[in-house]
């Protein structure tokens, strides 16, 4: 005698029952998981607020941006100052170049760009004059790049008027090669 076999109707009923049971189990597990995640979130303290400390002065940075304004806002006065970062001297520490505005209304204010050499100990030294990169006009931005592939980052300064390309001589000094390279791009074009 053979064993009792369920009819096809009984088989589909068993399958249906298993499916309902599995769905209920998955929903239960999902609900428990959601509840646990909600409880975990409620019990986890908020991360502490991020705090910054102004170390500009103690790091030796004395740069102050001068926009040249006389109280009227013209387009070049409302641009933020530019800054670019590179290891210009190859010592493994990132140095900072700041661009500055100029005295647009001839009031006797002296403003120049500034190159700060990273000393590697959290401090910087102003080497602008020694390096020969003061900028020549109202600065708008800057970028480092090795245009001649000699391994030393060169500095291009965008200005209101004539732009400047400073060639890195590899000894901490730069040479203005703007005319030789043909990249003065006199005049400023604003894109909106």
Position 135 scores a pLDDT of: 85
Which tokens in the block code for residue 109? Answer: 């204010």
Per-residue model confidence (pLDDT) at position 40: 55
Domain-located, residue 172: yes
Mean pLDDT by 10 residues, the chain (192 residues): 49 49 55 52 78 94 76 63 93 95 72 94 97 88 96 94 94 97 71 40
At residue 145, the pLDDT reads 97
Strand 124-126's sheet: what is its strand order?
83-86, 95-98, 114-118, 124-126
Residue 138 domain flag = yes
My answer on whether 88 and 164 are in the same domain is yes
pTM > 0.95: yes or no:
no
8 A C-beta contact, residue 113 and residue 99: yes
Give CA–CA dist 138/174, Å, rounded: 19
83 lies in the same domain as 162: yes
Going edge to edge, which strands form the sheet with 164-168? 138-145, 154-160, 164-168, 174-176
Residue-level pLDDT at 191:
41
The range of the structural domain enclosing residue 89 comes to 75-181
Regarding whether 84 and 44 lie in a shared domain, the answer is no
- Beta-carbon neighbour count of residue 141 at 10 Å? 16
Residue 116: inside a domain, yes or no?
yes
Residue at 60 is within a domain? no
pLDDT of residue 86: 98
Nearest CA-CA partner of 139 in 188, 192, 87: 188
Domain membership flag for residue 187:
no
Per the domain annotation, does 22 fall within a domain? Answer: yes
- Count the neighbouring beta carbons within 10 Å of the beta carbon of residue 32: 10
Interstrand relation of 174-176 and 138-145 (parallel, antiparallel or unpaired): unpaired
Q: What is the pLDDT of residue 64?
A: 80
Q: Is residue 157 part of a domain?
A: yes
**Are the C-beta atoms of residues 37 and 44 closer than 8 Å to each other?**
no
| Neighbour-count burial for 78-106, b at 16+ CB within 10 Å, e otherwise | ebebbebebebbeeeeebbbbbbbbebee
Q: Are residues 171 and 117 in the same domain?
A: yes
Please check whether residue 119 lies inside any domain of the structure: yes
Structurally, the chain folds into a number of domains equal to 2
So what's the pLDDT on residue 4? 47
């Amino acid at each position: 005698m053979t064993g009792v076999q369920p009819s096809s109707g009984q088989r589909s009923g068993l399958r249906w029952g298993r499916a309902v049971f599995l769905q209920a189990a998955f929903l239960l597990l999902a609900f428990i998981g959601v509840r646990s995640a909600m409880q975990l979130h409620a019990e986890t303290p908020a991360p502490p607020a991020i705090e910054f400390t102004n170390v500009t002065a103690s790091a030796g940075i004395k740069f102050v941006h001068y926009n040249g304004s006389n109280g009227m806002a013209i387009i070049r006065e409302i641009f933020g100052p530019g800054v670019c970062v590179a290891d210009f001297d190859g010592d493994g520490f990132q140095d900072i170049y700041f661009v500055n505005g100029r005295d647009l209304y001839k009031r006797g204010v002296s403003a120049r760009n500034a190159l700060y050499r990273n000393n590697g100990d959290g401090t910087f030294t102003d080497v602008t004059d020694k390096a020969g990169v003061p900028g020549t006009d109202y600065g708008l931005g800057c970028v480092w790049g090795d245009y001649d592939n000699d391994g030393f980052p060169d500095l291009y300064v965008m200005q209101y008027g004539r732009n400047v390309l400073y060639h890195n001589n590899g000894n901490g000094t730069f040479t203005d090669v703007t005319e030789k390279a043909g990249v003065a791009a006199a005049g400023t074009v604003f894109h909106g």
